[in-house]
Structure 1
Amino acid sequence: MGFTKEVMLFLSTTTVLSFFMITLGATFVYKVGDDAGWKMGSANLDYHTWAAKKFFHVGDILVFQYDRAQDNVLRVNLPNYHKCNAANPITTYSSGNDSITIRGPGHYYYISGFPGHCQTGQKIDVRVLKVSPPADLPSPSASPSPAPAAASSSSTTSAHLIAPSPISKSSAALFTNNGLGLGLCLTLFMFVVSADYLL
Structure 2
Amino acid sequence: MASINCKSFFTSLMILVALFGVGVDGKVHKVGDSSGWTMMGVDYQVWASSRTFQVGDSLVFEYNNEFHDVTEVTPHDFELCYSSNPLARYQTGSDTVTLTKPGFQHFICGVPGHCDIGQKLDILVFPASLGPVAAPVPGPVRSPISSMSPSPSPLADSPPRSSMSPSPSPLADFTN
Q: Which has the larger radius of gyration?
A: 2
Match of 2:30 in 1: 31
Amino acid at match of 1:86: S
- Displacement, 1:130? 2.7
Q: TM-score, normalised by structure 2?
A: 0.59
- Gaps in structure 2 of 5+ consecutive residues: 1-22, 137-176
Does residue 107 (structure 1) correspond to residue 104 (structure 2)? The answer is yes
Residue 54 of structure 2 is matched in structure 1 by 57
Match of 1:66 among 63, 67, 89: 63
CA distance in 1: counterparts of 2:35 and 2:73, whole angstroms: 22
1:151 match: none
Cα distance in 1 for partners of 2:30, 2:65 equals 16
Equivalenced residue count is 111
Aligned residue for 1:81?
78
Matched, 1:119 2:144: no
Matched residues in 2 for 1:25 and 1:71: separation?
Answer: 32
For residues 110 and 132 of structure 1, the distance between their equivalents in structure 2, rounded to whole angstroms, comes to 24
Deviations 1:145-191 (A, max 9, x none): xxxxxxxxxxxxxxxxxxxxxxxxxxxxxxxxxxxxxxxxxxxxxxx
Distance, in Å, in 1 between the alignment partners of 2:123 and 2:50 is: 10
After TM superposition, list the pairs within 5 Å mapping 1:1-199 onto structure 2: 25-41=24-40, 43=41, 45-131=42-128, 134=134
Cα shift readout 1:93-117 (whole Å, capped 9, x = no counterpart): 0000001110011011000000110
Counterpart residue type for residue 84 of structure 2 = A
Structure 1 residue 132 displacement after superposition: 6.8
The TM-score normalised by the length of structure 1 is: 0.53
Does the residue aligned with 1:81 lie in a helix, a strand or coil?
helix
Checking the alignment, whether the CA contact within 8 Å between 2:54 and 2:129 is kept in structure 1 is no
Q: 1:93 and 1:37 mapped to 2: Cα distance?
A: 15
1:131 deviates by 4.6
